[in-house]
Structure 1
Amino acid sequence: MDKNYKISKSEEEWKQQLTPNQFAVLRESATERPFTGEYNMHFENGIYTCAGCGEELFESSSKFDGHCGWPSFDQEIESGKIVEVKDETHGMIRTEILCGSCGGHLGHVFNDGPTETGLRYCVNSLSLNFKEEK
């Protein structure tokens, strides 16, 4: 990763902190299988945070059923929380999204969202934690 992030750890430190599946997604840009993630059809009130560093990324009010198999959001909680990077892997041109605090891979953003933002942040559940609204 070519950006200096607020939170920087060695590969070994990340491996100690994250589960093997979280490490594969957050640090190696893997993707969980569609319709398998804990937060795909999760619609409780609260805040979705980065599973790597705890940074607040998405409010539950921005979540919708994208019918794609991954949690979908129409906007980040605050500008700058998400970093966008051009992704040309797998024979496609997409926009990868990373946590702005630790650089963890979250998923991709597409301009086919059904809300007024027109965006669909398609996020791996393994890259998220959830803080329920009290």
Structure 2
Amino acid sequence: MEQISSLVSGEEYARSFNPGLYSCARCGHALYAHTSKFTGPCLWPSFRAPLEVSSLHTIAVAQGAYNHYSCSVVELYCAGCSLFLGHAFEDGATTGDTHPDARWRHCVLSLSLQFA
């Protein structure tokens, strides 16, 4: 069933944990290291933090405006070309990230990523 789910959703990177680097599918700008990836609650791949703070451009979403989330939410864009990547939620520690630095959960659309 998991294979069918990834085929339907196009989320080929959701359950992949191979060593490497995730970059923007449009411009190749480096975004995430495989070491920041974890299994989150959504179909999209989850990351705890970008490769560098300067890897992303973010826009804050008004409290409760995105699906009634009570935590902080931001939209994520590639800092290289402004491609929309997904959202970050300040609920990583309560949604599957067991890393000591767990705080944010970046849910990123696989189609916006390339992996090497």
TM-score > 0.5 by shorter chain: yes
Report the counterpart of residue 90 of structure 2 in structure 1: 111
Q: What residue is the counterpart of 1:12 in the other structure?
A: none
Q: Quote how far apart the aligned CAs of 1:79 are.
A: 1.6
Match of 1:73 among 35, 41, 47: 47
Q: How far, CA to CA, are the matches of 1:49 and 1:80 in structure 2?
A: 13
2:106 matched residue in structure 1? 121
Q: Tell me the equivalent position of 1:58.
A: 32
Q: For the residues of structure 1 that align with 2:32 and 2:21, how far apart are their CA atoms?
A: 6
Query: Which residue identity is paired with 2:14?
Result: N
Structure 1 spans left out of the alignment, 5+ residues: 1-33
Q: Counterparts in 2 of 1:1-134, with a 5 A limit?
A: 35=6, 36=9, 37-87=11-61, 91-92=65-66, 94-113=73-92, 114=97, 115=99, 116-131=101-116
TM-score, length of structure 2 as denominator length:
0.76
2:46 and 2:58 map into 1 onto residues whose CA distance is 16
Supply the AA of the counterpart residue of 1:97.
L
Which structure 1 residue ranges, 4+ long, deviate > 4 Å from structure 2? none
Q: Identical aligned pairs, as a percentage?
A: 39
Letter of the 1:118 partner, please give it. R
Which amino acid in the other structure matches residue 96 of structure 1?
E
Structure 2 unaligned segments of length 5 or more: list them: none
